[in-house]
A and B are shown apart, each in its own frame.
Chain A
């Protein structure tokens, strides 16, 4: 069965370190997204991609970057982790714009 997986599921890192969260989907979807979930804010869009070599900033993109070198993967990099980036991160993919997105299981990141 097609799926979308995130790794690691949990990570603790120190302030100032670079961190990369992995996202891999086997749906062959063109669209991929990264969200963060924080209490009181719901899910907020960090970055998104509509295809290979395409990346776009979302609502809360400061301090984050993504790259899309193939259809299956959209890694999220925190260039210099800050305590404000402690959150649960969700990766998602969808077949095309306007269709439902399927989410990974989430990565809980703690920056100490």
Chain B
């Protein structure tokens, strides 16, 4: 069955520090998709990134970077030089064929960036 674990419930960092949000997933499928979403205090869910299981290349987008490691079933998200605007709840999600490719979400990590 599909499972996404975000073991860090809450993280606090001081502005300009780097922070890594962990995501560990479980699936029996060889084809699957991983996602990160951001939920700021306003409540909407903002799509950040999608990665398929055949693409292990790490990705960088500005201050954001993602490390996908199939060997450890992890898809971690790093924010470099954090800013107050990064304060949000971040969700990791998995879509696989067993689950009809619907998104299964982790429980989220609440990041607070202290000015």
Interface of A with B (CB < 8 Å)?
33, 35, 40-45, 48, 56, 58, 88, 90, 92, 97-103, 105-106
Contacts and interface: CB of A to CB of B under 8 A. Distances in A.
Interface stretch (B11-19, B40-48, B57-65, B75-83): B40-48
Contacts of B43: 88, 105-106
Interface string B73-115: 0000000000000000001010100001111111110000000
DSSP class of B's interface residues: helix, strand, loop or mixed? Answer: strand
Interface of A: prevailing SS: strand
Given A102-B47, A103-B44, A106-B44, A97 B95 contact: yes
Contacts of A48: 100, 102
B100 A40 contact: no
Contacts of A33: 102-103
